[in-house]
């Protein structure tokens, strides 16, 4: 079984400060990890993913995420937050051992990021 | 814009009724996924189709069904609607030709309100 946890319902950060949105996962095989962002009344937009290789993944809009296998974490980061980054962020996982043909994602509950001017 | 389209954007109906939600995947994508997003349950996977065939089922109620047509668009049918079915329904698509590492791209969603 695969699961993902986002321990913070809300994160507040001042504009210009670095931001971190936390995500931990549980899988039986190797994880495929994804971050999505949802703006109000919009669909989910893909930010970045980790499949294999370099533990630091760079994505859209200046976001990056660090894969840490020992801590089973995949935290989303940005060096300098913008007010326009305020949105709902979802971490998702897919287990590489989930079986042929079954590629469903399991999502966390989401973290609301508020960037304060 | 992800390239995934969903219609209608909003749907208001009454309990006991039946509705159909439509999704067109990105050009070239063979897989379609349906998700339900509600305040209490979060984002939950319902069902996946690949090239016309059902591939995986999640927490989909028996009152709900889906299909994928030869032109690869998909429809989600919700029947005997209850108040608790009010939610945002998303469709996503992926190429799905490889090992399951492909990114799923989401449509804008259909907001269903059951009165």
Q: How many CA atoms lie within 13 A of A87 on its CB side?
A: 18
Which segments in chain A show pLDDT lower than 70? 98-103
CB of B74 within 8 A of CB of B66?
Answer: yes
Q: What is the pLDDT of residue B100?
A: 64
**CA gap A103, A110 in Å, rounded:** 20
Q: What is the pLDDT of residues A45-69, one digit of tens each?
A: 999 999 988 999 999 999 999 999 9
Q: What is the pLDDT of residue A97?
A: 72
Q: Do B48 and A51 touch (CB under 8 A)?
A: no
Paired sense of beta strands A10-14 and A111-116, if any:
parallel
Q: Is the C-alpha dihedral spanning B9, B16, B45, A103 positive or negative?
A: negative
**Chain A residues in contact with B102 (beta carbon < 8 A):** 103
Name the A residues in 8-67 with CB < 8 Å from any B CB. 32, 34, 36, 42-46, 49, 51
CB of B13 within 8 A of CB of B62?
Answer: no
Distances (CA, A) of B48 to A41, A73, B54: 24, 27, 6
Phi, psi of A85 (to 5 degrees): -80, -10
Number of A:B CB contacts under 8 A? 64
Smallest Cβ distance to B100: which of A34, A94, A109?
Answer: A94
Please report, in tens digits, the pLDDT of each residue of chain B (115 residues total).
889 999 999 999 999 999 999 999 999 999 999 999 998 888 999 999 999 999 888 889 999 999 999 999 999 999 999 999 999 999 999 987 446 688 999 999 999 999 9
């Amino acid at each position: 079984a695969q699961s993902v946890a986002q321990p913070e319902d809300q994160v507040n950060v001042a504009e210009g400060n670095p931001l971190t949105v936390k995500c931990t996962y549980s899988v039986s095989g190797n994880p495929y990890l994804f971050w999505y962002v949802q703006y109000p009344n919009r669909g989910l937009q893909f930010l970045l993913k980790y499949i294999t290789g370099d533990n630091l993944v760079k994505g859209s809009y200046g976001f990056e995420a660090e894969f840490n296998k020992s801590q089973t974490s995949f935290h989303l980061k940005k060096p300098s937050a913008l007010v326009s980054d305020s949105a709902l962020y979802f971490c998702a996982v897919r287990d590489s051992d989930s079986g042929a043909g079954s590629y469903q994602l399991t999502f966390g509950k989401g973290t609301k990021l508020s960037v304060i001017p | 814009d992800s390239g995934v389209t969903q219609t209608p954007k909003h749907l208001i109906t009454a309990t006991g009724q039946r509705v159909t939600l439509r999704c067109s995947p990105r050009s070239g994508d063979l897989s379609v996924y349906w998700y339900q997003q509600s305040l209490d349950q979060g984002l939950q996977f319902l069902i996946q189709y690949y090239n016309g065939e059902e591939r995986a089922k999640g927490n989909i109620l028996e009152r709900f069904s889906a299909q994928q047509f030869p032109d690869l668009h998909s429809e989600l049918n919700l029947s005997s609607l209850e108040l608790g079915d009010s939610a945002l329904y998303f469709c996503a698509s992926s190429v799905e030709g490889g090992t399951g590492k492909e990114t799923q791209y989401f449509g804008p969603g259909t907001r269903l309100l059951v009165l």
